[in-house]
Amino acid sequence: MSLPKSVTIVEVGPRDGFQLESRILPTDLKLDIITGLAAAGLKHIQVASFVSPKRVPQMADAEDLVRRLPKTPSVTFFGLALNTAGVTRAGEAGLSCIEVSISASDAHSRKNAGMSHEAALAEGERMVALARSAGMVVTASIQCAFGCVYEGAVPAARVLRAARMFADAGVARLTLADTTGMGTPPAVEGMLTALDAASAAVPMGLHLHDTRGLGLVNAAAGLRCGVTFFDTALGGMGGCPFVPGAAGNIATEDTVHLMAAMGAATGVDWRQVASCTRRLSAFLGRDLPGKLYRMA
């Protein structure tokens, strides 16, 4: 089997990693961490979500944070939006790239975005059109692609329908998100195979949570299927505030190590990432789920 020789690590820690923390991270600390991640070689960093601060208080400084980001042409700083209002906010703050996201689970969509899956599907199409009309680069993600704690198994047809919509709308990349960490290697491989027919022209990514300890195993399965974009969070931080028992993303440091072991270059210095993780660990006063950062 021929594996990809290089992959892109998409750092989502400053958004997904921070959003579940009850202790508010100061904007200055967020900026320091983001700058450190860029210095470590990460070229795609998700810095914030443009959602209601009443629901996700950690993101209340999204606009201020974006306006203070370093001018680093080689790094793409981007945000996440769940509706057209979020897309508008991200553009007005100065971002040139946005990820639009909907859930394949109706129950999760209602809790996370305040709308049914069908409404979110239509909103997703509007978000892409709005962002593209504003000259933004648009990527998309489908949450709960491998199952939902509220609904159990999510029909593959629902995921494929959303994938076709996003592909037809013209997104630059499509990411399958294992929001609840219910994915397994056979499920990942099966969904990616099915998606080849639905959206073959769109680069694919994986966003994996380690809720059941299979995050890195699923990443390896994705690599074997040819996936070259992997969302990760420094130290294994993260989780959806609206998923009971939510666990963090696969850790950036650990994923970089795994990819190197499988012969795929990332261009990321995991030791530099680890220094950012240790700083966050000290601020939060606890160990984080990642493994490798403790060994640097």
Domain map (residue ranges) of the chain: 8-295
Check residue 195 and give its pLDDT. Answer: 87
- Backbone torsions φ then ψ of 152, nearest 5 degrees: 80, -135
What pLDDT was estimated at residue 246?
A: 78
For the chain (296 residues), the mean pLDDT of every run of 10, in chain order, is: 93 96 97 98 98 95 97 96 98 98 96 94 98 98 96 94 95 96 97 78 94 97 96 95 86 98 98 98 97 92
What local confidence, expressed as pLDDT, does residue 245 receive? 80
Res 200: pLDDT: 65
Q: For the stretch 274-291, what's the b/e string if a residue is b when 16 or more beta carbons lie within 10 angstroms of its beta carbon?
A: bebbbbbbeeeeeebbbe
- Superfamily for the 8-295 domain: Aldolase class I (3.20.20.70)
Residue-level pLDDT at 197: 63
Residue 240 annotated among the catalytic residues of the structure: yes
Catalytic residue, chosen from 144, 225, 240, 276, is: 240
Q: Residue 15 has what pLDDT?
A: 97
- Residue 56 CA: distances (Å) to CA of 23, 100, 208: 12, 17, 21
